[in-house]
Structure formats: C-alpha cells, structure tokens
Structure 1
C-alpha cells in the first residue's frame, strides 16, 4: 500500500522531510529509490535522489515486497523495530504520569508538533493521541474495577466529574457497563513496531493471548472471538507480559533469540491446542510439513485439520506456524503474507548458520 492512500503526511511533506533529513519522521515512512532499488530511513545521510525517482512506503515490509533492498548505511530494518525517540520519550512520560493532561500547548513546550503526533498515532494505533489517553485511562479504571475498586472511585480517579459521563465513555469504549466489567477479564493491548511492519500484542494476567500483524485479514474476526466467545474486555495498556514480548521480539529479529519465554494463554479447542503445542516443538531454523505434524499427533490423515488449526493460531512468530510448509517444500499460505514467511525463515536459517561451529 502506498502512503498516498493512508493518513500519513502528503507527498510534498515527505519529499521535504527526506531532503532535509528530518529525524521527526523516523518510523513514519520509508523512502525507496527506483534507480538503485534501495530503501532508506527519511534521515539517511546518503546522497539524496531526485524526488521523481522516489516512492514512499508506510512500512519496511511493503518496500521489501516491492523488490527494494535495505540501505546498508541507515539500516532501515533496525529503525523499523523501534518508535522514534520523541514518541518513546512521550510514552514513557505517559506511563510515569498517567494523570497528566496533555494540551497542545504542553506538547509544543516539549517540542512536539500536535499535528505530527496526531498523524503518527492515527497510523500506528488507529486513534489520535488524545483518544489514546482517554481510552488508556479507562483501561486503568477497568483494571481497578476488576481488582475490587468501587465504580465511584474508578470514575473520579480517571478524571471524570460525573458518574454518568464516566459510564457513557466506558460503554462507548468497551461496549460493557462498569458494573459488568467486574465479571470480565481485561485484555490489555499495545502496538509493537517490527522490521516486518506493526504488530498488535494483547495479554491478560495469565499471559500473552494474541500477537498478530495489523494487516492480517483475520485479525478483526480474532478480536471479535476473544471478546464475544471468551468474554474479554479490550483496553490499551501495558503489563509485564507485553513488556516481555516487546523485548523478546527485538532480540528475535536481531538473530539473538531462538526460544520465546513469555507466558502464553491460548484459548481454543482441544485439537487446536495439540497442534499449537506441536508447532512449538519445531526447532528454530527448521521446517515441518502439515502431514508431518498430523503424523506426530497420531492422526496421519488429518493434514487438512492441522492446516485449519495452524491458521487459527493467534500468536504469530511465538507459536511458529511460519515453520510449516507444503509437502513439496512450497511456502503455502501464511496469515501475515508469504513475503513475511519467507523473511522469517531466512532470518532463522541465517542465524543458525552463523552460530554453527567452524569445521576444520
């Protein structure tokens, strides 16, 4: 998808940012040079191409899918794995001072352009910064109610002066009344940036429940199932599991982590759970066929059922369904797209080769 079709800055502004090496646009878009076949960060110090020879992409994986190679100087794949410094600093402040009211004037005092911030949050979180703050405060209230805090105290702690205003905002965000929230399980979510594009991570107190690429076609259906079938109430926020998967993903993409240790919670059928457990047994850097997994489960004729359970996996990369290929060695389907599947397999194969001892 080209950036002209998104809520990102207009073409002229991206050209300006590229030519001026504007670091404020780090993580917002990538520049790809048609004449060299290379894509870069906006602030790359390499000689700038003519604007007519450049196209822009929202994510690194889109540039790779279009046939571009990562620049060896600015290393855009490394840049894609983290939010810009100014965003990271802002989010740390939000975590440290959740009650702080962020006005446009306060943002400007911190050197942050409100419109630029709005665009970044719309792209990466699907909501404005101020909407994110409101929903986050309500998420904290949701957790408090679940832990036994009275609705009155949760409302006032969230900055609402009236219970009716709090209730209306709560229902609008979570589609459930504060009274019923005490019976539901909060499912906190955050957005993670990776070299293959943004991912949505969701976790509850027992462990990580979902990790998916935001453009996965089945994501909407998966979220509906978690809410309607398993009774989760979804809210933005952080917990230890989300912090752990963010750290472990960064190590994985750096080629330094072969086994994920983040606790998992995987609602699903008994058969799906058996398939997912078998997927976790596939060694890093290796692959298995659907038939091979079916045989390992004692049901050699269940390749199709294995494929269905494989597609129902909500924990991309962590439950390595990307390591399952066709009997003929073809990549076959992958919810995140075959270019990503190929990338993950190449990453693991390269890391294994690097770690092998030299033969004499």
Structure 2
C-alpha cells in the first residue's frame, strides 16, 4: 500500500479514521503540546501547521514527543507495563495472580518477560516490594507496625518482619524513614538517551542515571546509606515532572532543568557539581576550566573524579566537560552517548 502524504494523515486524524495495516503505525506529533497520537484519536484536532508526521511510534519518541493518554499510540510494551503496574497498585493486599493478569487480557509470560527486561524482577517481586514500600510509608507516618503489616496483606507478623528486614536491612519499627521511589524512563537513544533509572520522593529528584552504567548498584547503596531511607519501586508526581522535562530536553525545547534536586557528596564534590550547572547549554568546558572555576587550578584529576561521581545525568551536565585537547575525555554513560548529547545541544543552542 502506498504511503500517505502528511495532508492525508492529517485528514485521517480529523475524521477520526483508524488506518489499515500496514499504515496503522503512522503517528502525528503535536508541536504545541509535545504529544503524539495515532489517527483516530478522540482528542481535539490541532492545526495542520502545528503537526509533525512519523511513520512509527518510536520515531515520534526519538523526536522527543510523549505518548497520548487518550489514544495510547504505543499500544505495546510501554502501555503493557503501565497496565500491569496499575493492577498492582489496585491491589490493597496480596499480589497479582496469573488469573488476574489473564482476566485483564494480559499474557502472564509476556508480563514476566517485560518486567524482567525493564526492571530486573518478576511481577510478583514488584508487587511484594510495592506492598512493603506502602508499609514503610505507613510506619513513617506514625502507624503501628501491626497496622502496616495488615494493610500490606501479611497475615503473619514474623513473615512481615522477615520480608521487611530482607528488603530494607532492618526490622520494621515505628517512626522509620519514608522510602524513596525508583522507576524507569525511556529516552531517545538516537539523540544520546536510552533507558534511565529515576529515584524521587514527593519533594525532589535524588538520582537519574542510564541503566547501563557500571557503578549504578553502588550509587543505590550510597543513597540508602546517606539518606537512611529504603528504595522501593514506585512513581511520584516528581517522577512525572522529571519525565516531562527530560522529554522536552531531548526534543530541543529545554536548555535547563527546574526540578528540585537532592545531592549527597563531599564539600568538594558539591562545589564541582554546582559549577557544572553553570556551563551554558550548547557549550563545553575543559576539566582545567572547571578546576579554575572552583578556585583550584591544580585539582584537575579530582575534578574529573567528582564529575564521574555525579548521579544526576544530564540534569547536572557533566557531559559538557571535555579534555584540554578538545577530545571528549571520559563519560560514565559512554563516549558515543556523550557525543550525541553535545550534538543535540549544539543543534538547539539559543541564538
């Protein structure tokens, strides 16, 4: 079947006519909202000049658009993950059984594969951690341990204490710290992105890193130790803010981030990270420039080490630091990714 023109795709959108295969993957991106939809979407139609047209959903994602919540243009694994997580969240006690998955029209083996590939755990493991996470929140709010145990669906006090201690490193006690929440985020690899891990609470962003970073487990352990808070699967409003701002960044619409951040480093590291945030979008400094900025010309190696310890990828832009010879230098996320991020910023540099 012959490909449709942009105008034909737009007319299909206006008439809310779903396209037949093999054109069903065609998408329309709305520049004014940053959202992409499939033809047939019930949302209010945008003006033609505000539209961008794509052959597939992944092309729209790489261009920085996010999926519409009304027509669900992804329709595949991203939507599937959200549906399973919604099932988990709807369970006040217990896990999500295979029967419950089938009743929701989800193949259990597909659910297991998606969860293992994206989160490194099974659906049952995720549900258990969410139950324990809710229990940790309840205890932090002042509820008794027995109330938290029953609300989490544990009939056995000893079983609850054992599961809690295995997950958080200590038995549950009233007044324990509120947990941090970890979720995943997909960003366009063609522009220097990739799958990322995001750790937040209701107040701030604590960590955002690419999942292929070697030292990621060590960063998680450091967060737990410094903040004295468990890290459990889950999503907060702050996670959504980070996701939106990251989508805007990869689309070239955002040059700096405004989400509140929480860093935990030495005074020297904190000084380096603060200086990193003053490097203008689309520009680069050398490690020597950065050392001079913090008032210690001889600390080039220490500056490079602090750069590598940054746990807020892109938000604190350590990718903008290069070697004195103009070479890319190092980058924990990989030099290919660093090169793409710098190219993205050069292409959208103001002025």
- TM-score normalized by structure 2? 0.75
| Map of 1:293 onto structure 2 | 290
1:162-181 Cα offsets, whole Å, 9 max, x none, are 211111111122222111x7
Q: Secondary structure at the match of 2:99?
A: helix
The one of 246, 251, 259 aligned to 2:243: 246
1:304-359 per-residue CA deviation (whole Å, 9 max, x = no partner) reads 1111111110100100001111111111111111111111111111122xx54xxx
Change (3 A) 1:84 1:238: closer
Q: 1:183 to 1:111 in 2, by over 3 A?
A: closer
Q: Pick from 58, 74, 79: which aligns with 1:76?
A: 58
Q: Out of 345, 348, 351, which is 2:345 matched to?
A: 348
* 2:133 counterpart (129, 136, 139): 139
CA distance in 2, matches of 1:130, 1:336: 31
The CA deviation at 1:258 is 1.4
Q: How does 1:1-360 map to 2 (within 5 A)?
A: 73-74=55-56, 76=58, 78-79=60-61, 84-95=78-89, 98-99=92-93, 101-179=95-173, 182-195=175-188, 196-352=193-349, 356=351
> Could you say which residue in structure 1 is the equivalent of 2:4?
none
Contact between 1:280 and 1:320, CA under 8 Å: does it hold in 2?
A: yes
Judge conservation of contact 1:282–1:288 (CA < 8 Å) in 2: yes
Structure 1 position 136, deviation (Å) = 0.8
SS in 2 for 1:349: helix
TM-score in terms of structure 1 length: 0.73
Write the distance in 1 (CA, Å) between the matches of 2:57 and 2:346. 20
SS at 1:202's partner residue?
A: strand
> Gapped runs of 5+ residues in structure 1?
1-19, 24-71
1:184 positional shift: 3.5
Conserved? CA contact 2:87–2:96, under 8 Å:
no
**Count of equivalent residues:** 285
Shift in CA distance, 255/188, structure 1 to aligned 2, threshold 3 Å: same
Measured in 2, the distance between the counterparts of 1:111 and 1:184 equals 38
In the alignment, is the contact (CA less than 8 A) between 1:174 and 1:235 conserved in 2? no
Q: CA RMSD in A?
A: 2.3
Equivalent position SS for 2:131: helix
Alpha-carbon spacing, 1:183–1:75, altered in 2? closer, same or farther (3 Å): closer
Is contact 1:121-1:128 (8 Å) kept? yes
- Gaps of at least 5 residues in structure 2 are 1-20, 25-53, 68-76
Aligned-pair CA distance for 1:240: 2.4
Residue 256 of structure 1, CA deviation: 1.4
Report the CA distance shift for 1:77/1:140 in structure 2 as closer, same or farther (over 3 A): farther
3-state DSSP class of the match of 2:230?
strand
SS at match of 1:331: coil
Measured in 2, the distance between the counterparts of 1:350 and 1:263 equals 27
State whether residues 276 and 317 of structure 2, in contact with CA within 8 Å, keep that contact through their aligned partners in structure 1: yes
1:74: how far off? 2.5
Contact 1:191-1:201 at 8 Å conserved across structures: yes
1:175-218 deviation digits (Å, cap 9, x = unpaired): 22111x73435221111122232211112354111111111011
Shift of 1:117: 0.7
